[in-house]
Structure 1
Amino acid sequence: MKKKWSFKLGFILFISIILLIGCSSGKETQSGENDSDKTAHGGTLKLAWNSQPPTLDTHTTNTNVVRDIARQIYENLLTFDENYEIIPMLAESFEESEDRKTITFKLRQGVLFHNGKEMKAEDVVASMTKWQQNGTAKAELGNSKWEAVDEYTVVLHVENPSLSVLYRLADVTQTASIMPKEVIDAADATGVKEFIGTGPFKLEEWKHDSYIRLTKFDDYKSVDTPTSGLGGKKEALVDEIVINFVPDISTRVNGVISGEYDYAFELPFDSYEQLKNSPNVVIDVWPYGFETLVFNKKGIFQDLKLRQAVNHAINNEELLSLAFTDKEFYGLEPAYMRPEQKNWYTKAGEENYNVHDIDKAKILLEEADYKGEEVTILTSSDYKYHYDAAVIAQQSLEEIGMKVKLDVTDWATLLERRQEPESWDIFFTQFTTVATPLAYPFLESKVEYPGWTNSPEIDRLIGEIRNAPSQEEATAKFEQLQETIWTELPVINIGMTNFISSFSNKVKGYSEFMGPIFWNTSIE
């Protein structure tokens, strides 16, 4: 017996586990109703972004800046609606076999790529085969095979059937974007050379270190279902979107207040009152994820005692309060999944969370194999909270007797440098909350995320969660996994965070769902 899924998908498991969260955020924030028949079309939407993406090839990276910009260009076979149900996007429908070993996708017909070519099965097979060679997709799908049955039918033969394969295809992290076969064929180890999708906007120009310009794709073919989450009807209501790279935070704040920019992304927390008192802007505070200290486990932090020393040296609340300024923007929380996620939320391991104890940290440092080596913390001023967190961590580690230096770069350089194990020992990042713990890239050894976690116990528990026959058993295994994470400390969860963005009150129809959305958005 097969299970058939179409535009309104009754995917009960993931309704229950994907709640109000975000790989940016789980809420949908509307700037106002936007009936496209009544709304002015055209014009330019001017955005201010804090950093430049290293690429727009979503197959090769899980970075949020790539995800947020590329979603305007590309589309997936599947996506999430506003209730976090999985729905088709480029697929018209799909069927999953009872044993989960095959998934059959019927493709929408007449969907065009930005180069004018119609999307067909060969493009899907090429795109998905490339996508699953990287990161969490590789860990989830392994050697699964994609087959083009005819021009509009694709079958996925799943190597290791799992509760989470469908979720992975819809996920916004390392997005499973569909691209033309010829673009995939021309890709090398660094990714594709052209950024061509099926989305409502197409890439017109990328002036590196300055801006990306997207223009309306006149031949975009939308589905005719109501807009919901990342699915449903999409329409480009502006002629172009100019994404300006503005690393200076005061320039972003002043720019959105003055009207130079229509939208400013990730604004500093200490700008909240200034923005609140500005009559021409709207503030969006949205749940993000958790601030994280990542250890390089190919260097001196292979030593668990040394990782434990760092965990005891850091005062989580002090770091969060200084980097995020106000409890409206952070919370002390040992969990790796949000409290709203009833099937995953657990405080397991909390005895090792926020255990600030300088004397204990010094004892652990003496017990560790630390010989006074210089510890390099890699950070970026593009993200002020990461930079502030790194400065505070440096002070804490120096207090217990470690020699520490900061290596401050732009974010794109940091992303490159963290791939080099000899270049760093610690870096700070944000992991946006995910729908299942299997999507976190820093846990499973075969994902090879910078930091290079290589724990047989963590790998074993992830495998048991992936193959669990029921949600109840998966939940129990995750409680063990979180306990193990806090015991082995591949990373340190500093605490949960909320972020700020702001936009002009002339912007209508803007929404935010697991990141910003600029289709169905207009400017007066």
Structure 2
Amino acid sequence: MRDKTKALLLSLFIMITITLIGCSNEAGGTENDSTQGQEWGEVLNISVGQQPGILDPALTTATATHDVARAMYETLVTLDDNYEVIPMLAESFEMSEDGKTITFPLRKAIKFHNGEEMTADDVIASMERWMSISAQAQSDIPGAEWEKVDEDTVAVHLQAPSAISLYTIAEQNQLPIIVPKEIAEEAGAGAIEDYIGTGPLKLDEWRTDQYIKFVKFKDYQPRSEEPTGLGGRKEALADEIYWHFVPDESTRVSGLISGEYDIILGLPYDNVGQIQDTDGLKTEIWPYGMEMLVFNKQEGTFADQKMRQAINAALDVESILYASFGDEQFFELEHGVFTPEIKAWYTDAAKDKYNMQNEDLAQQLIEESGYDGEEIVILATREYPHFYSAAVATLEQLENLGLNVSLELYDLATMLDRRDDPELWDIFFTGWNTQFIPQGYSFLDSKAGWAGWTNSEKIDQYLDDISKAPTMEEASALASDLQEEFWDYLPIINVGLFHNVAGMKENVTGFRNFIGPLLWNVGIEE
């Protein structure tokens, strides 16, 4: 009798165990179909050129911050491969019939890196902080109020319906990250210093000028959907990820060839062929965004719109792109403020004003402006070689136009400081990654206060009209008018699209870029 009882209990125990394992896998657990049965290296070493100044992506638009912080922090909603809004920490979202309230049921049992569960109070505190510091939020959804509906639901109440409201809440310039309530309230308008998020990686160590070390967050709860864009299922495949700061390009390349690094970002264009020809290594090339010439429009030579138009009329942008990147596989001639895959906003408007190479028109505009030989200062840094090369190529073209031009070289931090003073420069080069609504480009917005000091009533009105459009059809219809005005006012010159390149070992799998490199679902296959 005792033997039968023991056998029955043993059978019952096995059945319960199998059931629990099955439930765990169905709930999302830590396994997914694409990685089951594979063995992954415990440590992933990534080498980059720039280090972040802060790790608070809600407070800065710096890509050096966003590239690492997105694996630590998450947002209510994000973007899929088609740049459409999808839920992340929200289970779903629902727009009211009048378009003025969006309700977000929250995912349950989501833990922060400190072990505490995320609550509606954390979400409200985080979103209210973001509203107070994000220029885009204040411009696109002014006066929006966040409400705790219940313990598992939040809502935002808009002053007026807006087709782009959800896109604003999925902003990628100043990320509306969700952090514990006490951290959001303590930071306020300042930088977060206690780095606690909900992402698949958590911060373990940050050594200035050396590296950031992340470790796998073992309590992370991935979504069940397939990975897409910045959303879907996310998994940390390596136990540790080191994000090494290596400003010298040759050192990064040598480290990849020697095996010190598994991935290097910002592979110099001149070394792409070398890495492709090296056994055991490969490259990944992906579109980044615009290479652009920025004018100082507050004072000096280019406060005059005709002088900006003169430069645009004269420039041979294809030559500048070749000087910057050396090979057309790394750039594209493209006039659009939006890339063709952003179908809601792409337009052929003002295509005739791109890459004109019309010296006669340029000279006419220079004469009409009254330019009298004033020095034109181009700021540059060698820390971004393709921007430096673009500056040198532009200097030569402007000198050939008869302008008095000088090039001032600085380290990146000094250059960024100097561009805040309108008395110290006239032109600098930078890049802007792909955006999914016009408001994502701060250089368009007079209220954004971005370097260059845009001040166009017409552009501001188009942005305002787009923000207030109740449907995407009505908002998209304004794209052509906005782009026409962009090429007339010229807050910047869109030189063209450029691509970024990463080098990596052949056994690196799952590496993707979407508005920057993604640190989840990537590992070293053993």
Give the Cα separation in 2 of the matches to 1:85 and 1:458.
24
Contact 1:74 1:197 (C-alpha < 8 Å) held by counterparts: yes
Residue 151 of structure 1 is matched in structure 2 by: 151
Contact 2:161 2:469 (C-alpha < 8 Å) held by counterparts: no
Correspondence 1:54-133 to 2 at 5 A: 54-132=53-131, 133=133
For structure 1, which segment, 98-107 or 60-69, has the greater mean C-alpha deviation from structure 2 after superposition? 60-69
Correspondence 1:255-294 to 2 at 5 A: 255-294=255-294
Question: How high is the TM-score relative to the length of structure 2?
Answer: 0.88
TM superposition shift of 1:483? 0.6
Residues 373-414 of structure 1: per-residue CA shift (max 9 Å, x gap):
433323222221111111112222233343333333344444
Residue 15 of structure 2 is matched in structure 1 by: none
Correspondence 1:36-55 to 2 at 5 A: 36-41=35-40, 43-55=42-54
SS in 2 for 1:251: helix
Residue 137 of structure 2 is matched in structure 1 by: 137
Give the Cα separation in 1 of the matches to 2:414 and 2:141.
30
Structure 2 counterpart of 1:70, which letter?
A: A
SS in 1 for 2:104: strand
Question: How high is the TM-score relative to the length of structure 1?
Answer: 0.88
Correspondence 1:66-465 to 2 at 5 A: 66-132=65-131, 133-187=133-187, 189-300=189-300, 301-465=302-466
TM superposition shift of 1:251? 2.0
Structure 1 counterpart of 2:228, which letter?
A: S
Give the Cα separation in 2 of the matches to 1:346 and 1:490.
18
Give the Cα separation in 2 of the matches to 1:420 and 1:34.
54
Which structure has the greater CA radius of gyration?
A: 2
Contact 1:275 1:281 (C-alpha < 8 Å) held by counterparts: yes
TM superposition shift of 1:269? 1.8
Aligned residues: 492
Residues 397-434 of structure 1: per-residue CA shift (max 9 Å, x gap):
23334333333334444444433434432221112222
Question: CA distance change for structure 1 residues 65 and 89 in 2, over 3 Å: closer, same or farther?
Answer: same
Give the Cα separation in 2 of the matches to 1:426 and 1:135.
24
Question: CA distance change for structure 1 residues 85 and 460 in 2, over 3 Å: closer, same or farther?
Answer: closer
TM superposition shift of 1:470? 4.0
Counting aligned pairs with the same residue, the percent is: 46
Question: CA distance change for structure 1 residues 85 and 471 in 2, over 3 Å: closer, same or farther?
Answer: closer
Runs of 4+ in 1 over 6 A off after TM superposition: none
TM superposition shift of 1:488? 0.8
Question: CA distance change for structure 1 residues 66 and 414 in 2, over 3 Å: closer, same or farther?
Answer: farther
TM superposition shift of 1:478? 1.1
SS in 2 for 1:328: helix
- Quick one: higher RCO (CA 8 Å, sep 6+), 1 or 2? 1
For structure 1, which segment, 348-357 or 46-55, has the greater mean C-alpha deviation from structure 2 after superposition? 348-357
Question: CA distance change for structure 1 residues 126 and 406 in 2, over 3 Å: closer, same or farther?
Answer: farther
Structure 2 counterpart of 1:210, which letter?
A: Q
SS in 1 for 2:231: coil
Structure 2 counterpart of 1:104, which letter?
A: T
Question: CA distance change for structure 1 residues 213 and 372 in 2, over 3 Å: closer, same or farther?
Answer: farther
Residues 317-350 of structure 1: per-residue CA shift (max 9 Å, x gap):
1101111111222222211122233332222112
Residue 16 of structure 2 is matched in structure 1 by: none
Give the Cα separation in 2 of the matches to 1:44 and 1:351.
51
Give the Cα separation in 2 of the matches to 1:154 and 1:59.
20
Contact 2:377 2:425 (C-alpha < 8 Å) held by counterparts: yes
For structure 1, which segment, 498-507 or 67-76, has the greater mean C-alpha deviation from structure 2 after superposition? 498-507
TM superposition shift of 1:177? 1.1
Q: Is structure 2 residue 512 aligned with structure 1 residue 522?
A: no
Give the Cα separation in 2 of the matches to 1:242 and 1:413.
27
Gapped runs of 5+ residues in structure 2? 1-31
TM superposition shift of 1:361? 3.1
SS in 1 for 2:329: coil
Residue 505 of structure 1 is matched in structure 2 by: 506
Residues 183-224 of structure 1: per-residue CA shift (max 9 Å, x gap):
222225442222221111112222222222212222222223
Question: CA distance change for structure 1 residues 209 and 366 in 2, over 3 Å: closer, same or farther?
Answer: farther
Structure 2 counterpart of 1:121, which letter?
A: A
Residues 39-75 of structure 1: per-residue CA shift (max 9 Å, x gap):
2245221111121123221112223222211111110
TM superposition shift of 1:241? 1.2
TM superposition shift of 1:115? 2.2
Question: CA distance change for structure 1 residues 145 and 429 in 2, over 3 Å: closer, same or farther?
Answer: same
Residues 154-197 of structure 1: per-residue CA shift (max 9 Å, x gap):
11011242111112222333222111222222225442222221
SS in 2 for 1:59: coil
Contact 2:83 2:436 (C-alpha < 8 Å) held by counterparts: no
Contact 1:34 1:521 (C-alpha < 8 Å) held by counterparts: no
Question: CA distance change for structure 1 residues 161 and 62 in 2, over 3 Å: closer, same or farther?
Answer: farther
Gapped runs of 5+ residues in structure 1? 1-32
